[in-house]
Structure 1
Amino acid sequence: MSDDSRVVLDYHQRTKHQLNGYAKGPASLDWDDQPNPFRRFEGCETLALPQPGADLACRFADLDHPETIPAQPPTLANLGLLLELAFGLSAWKQFGPDRWALRCNPSSGNLHPTEAYLLSTAPEVLAPGVYHYVSHDHLLERRCRFDTADLPAGLYVGLSSIHWREAWKYGERAFRYCQHDIGHALAALSYAAGCLGWNIELLSETGDAEIGAWLGLDRDSDFVADERETPDLFCRIDTGTGAEGEFSGPALSQALQSGEWFGVAKRLSGRHFYRWPIIDQVAEHTLKPTTPAERETWPTADLASPSHDQLASRLIRQRRSAQHFNGKSAPLPLADFYRILAALLPAAKPPFTAWNWPAQVHFVLFVHRVDGLEPGLYFLPRAADAADAIRPACSADYNWHRIDAPFDFYRLQAGNVRQAAKTLSCHQPIASDSAFSLGMLARFADNVSVEAWRYRRLFWECGLLGQILYLEAEAAGVRGTGIGCFFDDAVHGVLGLQDQTWQSLYHFTVGEPLDDNRLQTLPAYAHLARPAADADCKPD
C-alpha cells in the first residue's frame, strides 16, 4: 500500500462521527464571516447570458431514453440554459430579514463549494476562452482568451472545489462533503444536457494538474491562499451536431500557454479563524494523475413511467432538500419505490452516460412506509456480484430473503427500523419519519489501496446517486434529502462489518415533506434586469 493510500485511510478513520463524539469541527460558527456563496473575479470581461427560466419540451420520463430527445442547436441561449439547469438558482427563501438562494445542484449545508467553468474552442458559439459561471447573476466572467486556430471546435465544462466554504461549518469532515457535491454537480450537468438532447462526456483520463492549468486554478496570485480552488472534473459537451473534433489535452495545454489571463478572485471571508490542515493534506494525497481512458457500456434503461411526470426543466427547478417529513403520511406506492430504486441501477441514460467507471456503491435501505413491502432492513446491489461479495462480511443473523422485484433486491431483516435509522443518522428524525432512508456502502479499502485518488471517486459516485434520488423523489410526488451526518462505524456495526473493506459514505432519505409556512419562496432570477450582453464577449 502506498503512503498516499495510508494517509487517506487515516483521514477517513479520523473524520468518522462516533456515537460518543463527532469529527473535529469549529467550536462555534462565525455567522458574520460566513463565506460568500458566490465567487466572483475582479478585472474580467463579463458576458450576461440570455434571460434564464425557459422551459424545454423534454419531459422527465423522456430522459430514460435520451436518444429520442431532439438535439437543440448549440447557441448561447441554450448554453446558458444548460448552466442554469445544472448550477443556477432555483429559488430564494426568506425568513424575516434573512434571505438565501437555492440552486439546481444541491450542496451540504447549502454552502456550495463547487465552482463551474466553461471552456470554449467553438467561436461560432462563444468567443474562445476560459469562463467562470456566476450563478447569482447568470453570467460568464472571461478569465482567459487564447488562440484556437489549431484546435477542433468544442465546448467543455470544468468543476472545482473551494474546501474552505465547507470547512467553515463542518471542519475536518468537509473534504468528504466537497466530493459529494462534485458528484451531485456532475449528475446535475448530465440531466441538464439530456434535456437539450445533448450529452456530457466525462474526460476522466485527465489529471488534476492538467485541469488546474486549463481552468487557471494553478495561478496562485489570483486567489486568497485559504480560499484556493482544487480541480476535480473536466467534461466535453456533445451537442449532437457531429462538429466536435477529437479532444487533445496536450494540444489544449499548448494553446493555453500563450493565453492571456484576467481577473483576481474576490475574498470570500474576512477571517479564517479555524484552520484545518488535514484537509490540505488529504487533498494533496488524493491528487489524480493522468490515467488511461475508461468508458463503461451501460444497458438500455427499462423503467416504468414516473407517477408525477412533467417537463424535466420544471422538475429540476422545483427540486428541494426536505427539512422535515410527515411521519404519519400514507405509504409510498410500491410502483414509485421500485421506479426510484431501478433508476439507481446503471443504464444508458443520464447521469450514467456521464459516468465512466463500474458501480462501486450499493445500498442498505431502512424501509418504513412503502405500500406492499414489509418494514425492515434491505439490500440493493448495483452490480451482479455485489450481494455475493458483501454477504459473507455481514452478520450471520440476516436471512437475505430475495424479494419479488424487477431487479435483485433482498430483505435482510423484517421489523420496525425507524429508531435505528434515526440513531445512526446522528439522531435526525428525517431518517425515520420518511418512507425510507438508506446508506451507501462502497467497496472501500480495495479501491483506495490501488489508487488513493479513488477515495474522491467513491464520494463522487455517492453524490451522483444522491442526485438521482433527489429528482426521482420529485417525479414520485415526494421529496428527498441527503444526509452527510451519520455514525460511520455504528452503521457498520449494525451490518456486522468488521473492517474497511466496505464503508458507508453517504445517507439519504425520501418521504412526504412538511413545509415550513413561515418561509417565503421568491423567484430565482427576479433580481435580473439588465441591458444586452457585453459586446466585447459576443461570439466571434
Structure 2
Amino acid sequence: MKPATAPASPGAAATPAPTAEGRVRAYHQRTKHHLQRYAAGPETLDWDAQPDPFRRWAGAVVTMLPLPAATLAQGESPAWEALFREGAVPPRPADRNAIGLLFELSFALAAWKQHGPDRWAVRVNPSSGNLHPTEAYLLAQGVRGLDDGLYHYAPREHALERRAQARAAAGEGTRLWIGLASIHWREAWKYGERAFRYCQLDAGHALGALRYAAAVLGWRARVVEGLGDAELAALLGLDRDGDFQDAEREAPDCLVELLPAPAAPAGAAPDPAQWLMAGTWLGKANRLDKHPMYRWPVIADASAASSRPQLESACAGVPDARPPDIPDAPAAAEPAVEIIRTRRSAQRFDRRAVMPLSALARLVRALVTAALPWDLLPGPARIHPVLFAHRVEGLAPGAYVLPRSAAGEALLRSALGAGMEWLPVDGLPLWRLAENPALAGTLRTINCHQALGSDATLAVAMLAEYDGALAGAPWSYRDLLAEAGLLGQVLYLEAQACGFNGTGIGCYFDDALHELLGMEGTRLQSVYHFTIGAGQHDPRIQSTPPYAGREEYAWTPEPSNA
C-alpha cells in the first residue's frame, strides 16, 4: 500500500515515479552498513522459532538418490588439479548414479553438527548464516533410471521430488538443466533488509558448487542466456499459486544447462507449455515459518525492480584469459571429492598463521583464469578483488588490487584514490595500492568489528563495476552479486586445496571501505567480503555423518538397455 501524499498545487510538476534502476540503486544505498548504524534488521531473534531449513513438496513422488562420493574418494575420484585440464576427466554417463553424485557434491548435507542440545546440518554449498535460501530443481530428459520431468532436490533426504512429468514427445537423447530459486524469507528472518543481497551471493556460491560438481563428472555447464524470470518461474512451477498457498514463495534465479557429452552443443531452455504435461503437477510447498515477527517490503520491491526480462540476444564478451606471467600453482593431488565435501566456513582463525606466497599465487591464478568455473558465466568479468595481505609471506601488509579484465583495470585506475601507489608485484598480476602496518585493526573495523577480519592471513573486498552494469539493465545487480558469490566459492575451495579455510563476510561497512580506497561516486561498489586463514576447530562441537544408515544407496551400476 502506497503512503498517502498531499495533492499537488496547481501547475506543479508531478514527481516522476522511480524507475526500476532507481529502485535497485535505492535498495543498495538503503541497505549499506555504516559505522554509526547498521542496515535495518530484526531487533531480536527467537532461535527456537527459526524457519524450517528444508523445503518439501507434500504429495510429490520421491526418488531416493545414490551416495557415490564416499566410494569415489577411496580411489576413483579425479584429483583436484585434473578438473582444470581439458579432457583429463572422462565424462560419466548421465544416469541416476551421476545425478546422485552431482547433487551430493553441490547441494547435499555435508555433516550434522551438535553442541549440547542444539543440532544442525551443514551443507556442501556455503550460505550466509547457514540459512540456505537457494532451492535446486532438476529438469531431466533421457536419464537412465529416472523418469523425464521436473524434480525438486530435497537435501535432508538426498532425494528428488517429482513435481511434473515431461511429455513423451519431449525429444530423444539426454538433456539436463538445473534451476535455482531463492526463498528470501530464509535470509530476511535473520538479516532483515540486507537479506536480498545475501540471497544473490548464495546463488553465486550455488552456481560454483554446481560447476565443480559437474567437472568431477567430466561434464560442462553453462548459464542459459536470455531467459526471463517469468519464463523460468513457469518452467520450475514457481508461478503456481495453488501449490504454495500460505507457504513462502520462491523467486527464480537462473537456469544452468548441463552438458554430459564432450561435444554436446548448448541449446535453448525448454518451453514449459510444450515440455511439461498439463495437469500432471504434484506437491504442495511446506510453510517454513509459522509465525513471522517482521515484514521487509523493500526486499519484494528490490526483487521486482531487478526482475529479469526475456532478452532477444545473448550477452557479448567472454572473461579475459589468464595472463601468461602467472606462475603455475603447485598441483593439488588430493581427491576433488574430498576437497569439495570437507569445505567448511571458518568460525575463527589462528592469528599467528602465515600464508605462503605460493598459496597466494594459487588463489590469484584461480580468480583470473578463463577456465573452470568461469566458463559457466556469459559476459566479461565485472568483479575485481582488493586483497588485504595481512600475513602473507614476502608481501608487506597492505592493500593490493587484482584487475580481472583490461577494462576493469582502466576503471579501477580512474576510480580509486589518486594517492594509491599502483606498484607492480613481481610474478603476479597484482598492484600494491598502499602499505598498512596497522592492517589488523583496519580489517577488524571494516568487517563489522569481527575477529574474522583481524585474525585472517588474507582478506578480500570485491568491487563491482556498478554504474556501468546497472545502466539500463537493473537485473544486472543480481548478476554482480552472483558473480561475487561465485568468486567466493573459488576462494573457499582453492583455500581448502592450499590447507587453509575461508569464510564469507556479508557484514562490512560499505562506504567506510570506499573511503579507505579513496573512492567517490558509484562507479565501483563493494558487494562482498571474504577472509582466509588457518581455521581453528571448536572441540565442543560434535560432527556426525550426513546420511548415516544410507549405505544401501552407495554407487551401484545401472542396468543396460539390453
TM-score bracket, normalised by the shorter chain, equals over 0.9
- Which one of the candidate residues 83, 107, 117 is aligned to 1:97? 117
Q: Any idea what SS the aligned residue of 2:276 has?
A: helix
Aligned to 1:29: 45
Scaled by the length of structure 1, what TM-score is found?
Answer: 0.94
Question: Does structure 2 retain, via aligned residues, the 8 Å contact 1:346–1:359?
Answer: no
2:66, 2:472 → 1: CA distance? 46
Aligned to 2:133: 113
Letter in 2 for 1:45: V
Moved more, 172-181 or 417-426: 417-426
Letter in 2 for 1:222: D
- Which one of the candidate residues 237, 256, 259 is aligned to 1:216? 237
Question: Does structure 2 retain, via aligned residues, the 8 Å contact 1:319–1:470?
Answer: yes
1:527, 1:224 → 2: CA distance? 35
- Unaligned regions of 5+ residues in structure 2, if any? 1-16, 556-560
Going from structure 1 to structure 2, the CA distance change for 1:79 and 1:66 (only over 3 Å counts) comes to farther
For each residue in 1:317-348, what CA deviation from the matched residue of structure 2 results, as whole angstroms up to 9, or x when unmatched? 0000001001112x211011111111011412
| Distance apart, 1:532 and its partner CA | 11
Moved more, 308-317 or 422-431: 308-317
- Which one of the candidate residues 442, 447, 457 is aligned to 1:425? 447
Q: Any idea what SS the aligned residue of 1:344 has?
A: helix
For each residue in 1:169-228, what CA deviation from the matched residue of structure 2 results, as whole angstroms up to 9, or x when unmatched? 000000000000000000100000001100112102211111111110001121154610
Aligned to 2:417: 395
Task: Report whether the alignment pairs 1:381 with 2:403.
Answer: yes
Aligned to 2:308: 288
For each residue in 1:333-375, what CA deviation from the matched residue of structure 2 results, as whole angstroms up to 9, or x when unmatched? 1011111111011412x21121112110101121111111111
Q: Any idea what SS the aligned residue of 1:235 has?
A: strand
Going from structure 1 to structure 2, the CA distance change for 1:246 and 1:315 (only over 3 Å counts) comes to closer
Alignment of 1:109-508 (within 5 A): 109-122=129-142, 124-152=144-172, 153-225=174-246, 227-240=248-261, 247-249=267-269, 251-256=271-276, 258=278, 260-291=280-311, 292-294=313-315, 296-297=317-318, 299=321, 304-306=328-330, 309-329=333-353, 331-348=354-371, 350-508=372-530
Q: Any idea what SS the aligned residue of 1:87 has?
A: coil
Question: Does structure 2 retain, via aligned residues, the 8 Å contact 1:308–1:477?
Answer: no
For each residue in 1:42-65, what CA deviation from the matched residue of structure 2 results, as whole angstroms up to 9, or x when unmatched? 001100011343324211111221
Aligned to 2:104: 84
Scaled by the length of structure 2, what TM-score is found?
Answer: 0.90
Question: Does structure 2 retain, via aligned residues, the 8 Å contact 1:164–1:226?
Answer: no
Aligned to 1:536: none
Going from structure 1 to structure 2, the CA distance change for 1:144 and 1:505 (only over 3 Å counts) comes to same
Question: Does structure 1 retain, via aligned residues, the 8 Å contact 2:83–2:216?
Answer: yes
Alignment of 1:62-77 (within 5 A): 62-77=82-97
Going from structure 1 to structure 2, the CA distance change for 1:283 and 1:347 (only over 3 Å counts) comes to same
Q: Any idea what SS the aligned residue of 2:399 has?
A: strand
2:541, 2:60 → 1: CA distance? 36
Letter in 1 for 2:165: R
1:219, 1:458 → 2: CA distance? 29
1:284, 1:313 → 2: CA distance? 38
1:236, 1:46 → 2: CA distance? 23
Question: Does structure 2 retain, via aligned residues, the 8 Å contact 1:64–1:303?
Answer: no
Letter in 2 for 1:419: G
1:59, 1:403 → 2: CA distance? 30
Question: Does structure 2 retain, via aligned residues, the 8 Å contact 1:15–1:172?
Answer: yes
For each residue in 1:250-293, what CA deviation from the matched residue of structure 2 results, as whole angstroms up to 9, or x when unmatched? 64432326251000011111111101111011101111012222
| Distance apart, 1:310 and its partner CA | 0.4
Number of aligned residue pairs: give it: 532
Task: Report whether the alignment pairs 1:17 with 2:17.
Answer: no
Question: Does structure 1 retain, via aligned residues, the 8 Å contact 2:446–2:508?
Answer: yes
Moved more, 116-125 or 490-499: 116-125
| Distance apart, 1:524 and its partner CA | 1.7
Q: Any idea what SS the aligned residue of 2:471 has?
A: helix
2:272, 2:348 → 1: CA distance? 48
Q: Any idea what SS the aligned residue of 2:256 has?
A: strand
| Distance apart, 1:307 and its partner CA | 6.3
Question: Does structure 2 retain, via aligned residues, the 8 Å contact 1:307–1:336?
Answer: no
| Distance apart, 1:296 and its partner CA | 4.7
Going from structure 1 to structure 2, the CA distance change for 1:16 and 1:261 (only over 3 Å counts) comes to same
Moved more, 428-437 or 58-67: 58-67
Question: Does structure 2 retain, via aligned residues, the 8 Å contact 1:403–1:411?
Answer: no
Letter in 2 for 1:332: M
Q: Any idea what SS the aligned residue of 1:387 has?
A: helix
Letter in 2 for 1:78: A
| Distance apart, 1:398 and its partner CA | 1.7
Question: Does structure 2 retain, via aligned residues, the 8 Å contact 1:41–1:266?
Answer: yes
For each residue in 1:397-418, what CA deviation from the matched residue of structure 2 results, as whole angstroms up to 9, or x when unmatched? 2211111123243343353311
Question: Does structure 2 retain, via aligned residues, the 8 Å contact 1:35–1:268?
Answer: yes
For each residue in 1:407-460, what CA deviation from the matched residue of structure 2 results, as whole angstroms up to 9, or x when unmatched? 243343353311111100000111111111010000102211220000000000
The percentage of aligned residue pairs carrying the same residue is: 45
Q: Any idea what SS the aligned residue of 1:340 has?
A: helix
Bigger radius of gyration, 1 or 2? 2
| Distance apart, 1:477 and its partner CA | 0.4
| Distance apart, 1:300 and its partner CA | 6.8
| Distance apart, 1:304 and its partner CA | 2.5
Going from structure 1 to structure 2, the CA distance change for 1:526 and 1:490 (only over 3 Å counts) comes to same
Question: Does structure 1 retain, via aligned residues, the 8 Å contact 2:167–2:277?
Answer: no
- Which one of the candidate residues 57, 62, 67 is aligned to 1:41? 57
Question: Does structure 1 retain, via aligned residues, the 8 Å contact 2:58–2:285?
Answer: yes
Letter in 2 for 1:504: S
Letter in 2 for 1:229: E
1:195, 1:303 → 2: CA distance? 25
2:505, 2:511 → 1: CA distance? 16
| Distance apart, 1:378 and its partner CA | 1.1
Moved more, 25-34 or 5-14: 25-34
Going from structure 1 to structure 2, the CA distance change for 1:225 and 1:8 (only over 3 Å counts) comes to farther
